[in-house]
Chain A
Amino acid sequence: MKLKSRFLFAGLFIVLVDTSMAPIANAVITPPITKCHIEIDNPHFSRYIYRTKGIRAVKVNARSICNKPMRNLVLKVQIYKVGFLRDFLVASEAISAGFVIQNRGFKNEKTYVECLGHQWSKYYGVAFATADVEGRQVKTLHVSSEKTNELKCSN
């Protein structure tokens, strides 16, 4: 199952803050105004480049989809390697689009890091996006890949 993150709206946030201060009996769950989310897959070897060129590259893909048209969409994907004391960013790629029509998935499939050695290392991906939806700038939470995968790839 891919992880999903609803776009956070400033307006929705205000509603939630207001209701949290009201008595519990008056609390109302406000549904999201739009159905926008991002999906991120797990770190994996690109099968194509390994099969054809013998190169091992760790990839993480992400997709943004929304039931409203999006303007100035920026979808960023980062690949992290788990370290001894802290995790290291090893690759980052952002793709921006001027306009994306509703219900059309916008993918970022360009984020990869080439392996330089064969040592086992753990990787995970993080994706987030910003866009203008109905004239308001919205942004997602940072979404991590479901799994941290151990791959025979060091760099």
Chain B
Amino acid sequence: MSEEQIDRNFDDENHDELYFNLIHKLLTDHRDRYELQTSRLLHDKSIIVESQGSKLRFSLTPQGCSYSTIESDVSTKSDGWVRMGWGRANKRKALPAFFARAEASAIINQNSE
């Protein structure tokens, strides 16, 4: 990508530093919990996780996984979906990072208010 193209985009370097560091930290600190949640989600297809003052619902879809904030202490909320592929193996591999991503969003939303 050329410099010109980069300059046309928003300057998201500071945001990315906070966001991706948080995801990485959560993934490192809570890997065991995320592995357990992955197994539960693959079995139950939908689970509710309470974390950082928010209740998040994770649901498997045929090609990926979605999350939505169902209860939160703050008015800023996030919902998301990521394509992971059809198979269970692909989902098992991608889900721990997805849990970390959703929780990072919830934490950033709380800190932004």
Q: Taking beta carbons and an 8 Å cutoff, which residues of A are in contact with B?
A: 1-2, 41-42, 44-49, 52-53, 55, 57, 59, 61, 63, 88-99, 107, 109-111, 113-114, 146-147, 149, 151, 155
Q: Is the CB of A110 within 8 A of B24?
A: no
CB closest residue in chain A, given B85: A155
Complex interface bits, B62-88 against A, C-beta within 8 A gives 1, otherwise 0: 000000000000011111111100000
Looking at the assembled complex, report how far the CB atom of B14 sits from the nearest CB atom of chain A, in whole angstroms. Answer: 9
**CB-defined contacts of B1 to chain A, threshold 8 Å:** 44-45, 149, 151
Q: Is the CB of B13 within 8 A of A48?
A: yes
Q: A61-B9, A109-B10 are in contact. Are A49 and B75 (CB under 8 A)?
A: no
Q: Is the CB of A91 within 8 A of B9?
A: no
Q: Taking beta carbons and an 8 Å cutoff, which residues of B are in contact with A?
A: 1, 5-6, 8-10, 12-13, 15-17, 19-20, 24, 75-83, 97, 105, 108-109
Dominant secondary structure of chain A at its interface with chain B? strand
Q: Is the CB of B83 within 8 A of A88?
A: yes
CB closest residue in chain A, given B10: A61
Give 6 nearest A-B pairs by CB, closest first. Answer: A98-B75, A48-B16, A41-B9, A93-B80, A92-B81, A90-B83
C-alpha gap A24/B18 in the complex (Å): 55
**CB-defined contacts of B19 to chain A, threshold 8 Å:** 109-110
12 A-B contact pairs sorted by A residue (CB < 8 Å): A42-B8, A49-B16, A53-B20, A61-B9, A63-B10, A94-B78, A95-B109, A96-B76, A99-B75, A110-B19, A147-B5, A149-B5
CB closest residue in chain B, given A57: B20
**CB-defined contacts of A94 to chain B, threshold 8 Å:** 78-80
Q: A48-B20, A97-B76 are in contact. Are A91 and B82 (CB under 8 A)?
A: yes
C-alpha gap A99/B77 in the complex (Å): 12
Q: Is the CB of B78 within 8 A of A95?
A: yes
